[in-house]
Amino acid sequence: MRGKTAAIVFGMAINAALLSICPAQAGWFGGSDTPAPAADDGLVNQIQQALDDQRYVDASSLLDRALISGNSNPKLTLLAGELNLAKGRYDFALASFKRIDAEPTLRARALEGEGVGLSLLGRTDEALPVLETAVSLNPSSWHAWNTLGVIYDRRHEWLKAGDAYDHAMATSGVSPLVLNNRGFSRLSQNRPDDAAADFVAALQKKPDFSSARNNLRLAMAMKGDYARATEGASATDRPSILNNAGFAAMARGDYSAAESLLGQAMQAKGEYYSVAAANLEVVRGLESGGASGTVPNAAAP
């Protein structure tokens, strides 16, 4: 029974936070009474720096003034796409990237943004060839490599995923985002020790990286260390952390611990907790030999 349930963890959804996008509502279509600066390299660099620093209001203001003036510099179109991508307006971002696909000097970067946007929209079959073309044109496109890793993970193409993450690590300066993604990939392959090492490394680079911290807890639970996996959780996070630990126990075939942890999760929630309840139902079915297939809502976000 342990072998049967271990396969369940491979069906866990990749956390959306693994991608290097910070969704929010966009706002760069507003006007400004201030005269637009000339779209020279200095302005492009200012906008790029604002995007890199996640100062989206500043980036929006600069782009507004340039675009409203009618300036058609394709670099501005590219930056507009990247701003919309960062703000979660994926359809608008794709429209911008499509407009500059034919620009030879910008094509790789536009394809990278287009591929990431398609992936975030769940259109992975369309995203895959776009991202593969992006990295063939520019092998240092680490966001594209990172997203390719996530897509390959979803297909359980582990060797391709590992290669994609290796490229992303090398070209991103070992980004904590890539470390977290690679760790989740290893966790999905039932390699909790390797996964934990990546999550720890991600947290060393970015101590406030909540996704990596939660994934580290899950890796501990996958090793059977349920106490460490759940200790110190805040009241807000405790229900989901207990649920995830219970799911890990279920995947290990440790049904007694799974029942206990999922029961604690439901109690900590203080109201009906549908995900933990569904997991508990599966555990009881597995114990009686009557459950099969995968768990649709295995781990809570």
The pLDDT of residue 15 is: 36
The pLDDT of residue 20 is: 33
The pLDDT of residue 289 is: 79
Q: At 91, list the tokens.
A: 């359809």
Task: Work out the pLDDT band at 56, boundaries 50, 70, 90.
Answer: very high
| Domains of the chain listed by start with CATH number | 2-30+37-227 (1.25.40.10)
Residues 92-111: tens digit of each pLDDT: 999 999 988 667 789 999 99
Sign of CA dihedral 76, 110, 21, 90: positive
Higher-confidence residue: 35 or 113?
113
The pLDDT of residue 65 is: 84
Distances (CA, A) of 15 to 184, 208, 237, 247: 9, 17, 16, 16
The pLDDT of residue 239 is: 96
Q: At 139, list the tokens.
A: 């092998």
Q: Examine the pLDDT at 298 and tell me if it is beyond 60.
A: no
Residues 228-246: tens digit of each pLDDT: 999 999 999 999 999 999 9
Q: Where are the alpha helices (DSSP H) in 121-175?
A: 124-137, 142-154, 158-172
Crossing angle for the helix pair 74-86 and 56-68, nearest 10 degrees? 140
Distances (CA, A) of 248 to 66, 87, 111, 275: 52, 33, 37, 14
Average pLDDT, the chain: 84
Find all residues with CB under 8 Å of 262, minimum gap 6, and list them.
242, 243, 246, 247, 276, 279, 280, 283
- Please state the pTM of the whole predicted model: 0.79
CA neighbor of 184 nearest in space, from 300, 12, 21, 7: 12
Q: How wide is the angle at C-alpha 240 spanned by C-alphas 268 and 143, nearest 5°? A: 160
Q: Say how far apart CA 231 and CA 124 lie, in whole Å.
A: 37
Cβ-contact 262, 276 below 8 angstroms: yes
> To the nearest whole percent, how much of the chain has pLDDT over 90?
70
Higher-confidence residue: 44 or 152?
152
The pLDDT of residue 248 is: 95
Residues 14-24: tens digit of each pLDDT: 333 333 333 22
The pLDDT of residue 259 is: 96
Higher-confidence residue: 195 or 26?
195
Find all residues with CB under 8 Å of 227, minimum gap 6, and list them.
none
Q: Say how far apart CA 269 and CA 276 lie, in whole Å.
A: 10
Cβ-contact 99, 93 below 8 angstroms: no
CA neighbor of 233 nearest in space, from 269, 275, 278, 185: 269
The pLDDT of residue 64 is: 87
The pLDDT of residue 40 is: 66
SS3 181: helix
Neighbours of 156 (CB within 10 A): 12
Q: Examine the pLDDT at 1 and tell me if it is beyond 90.
A: no
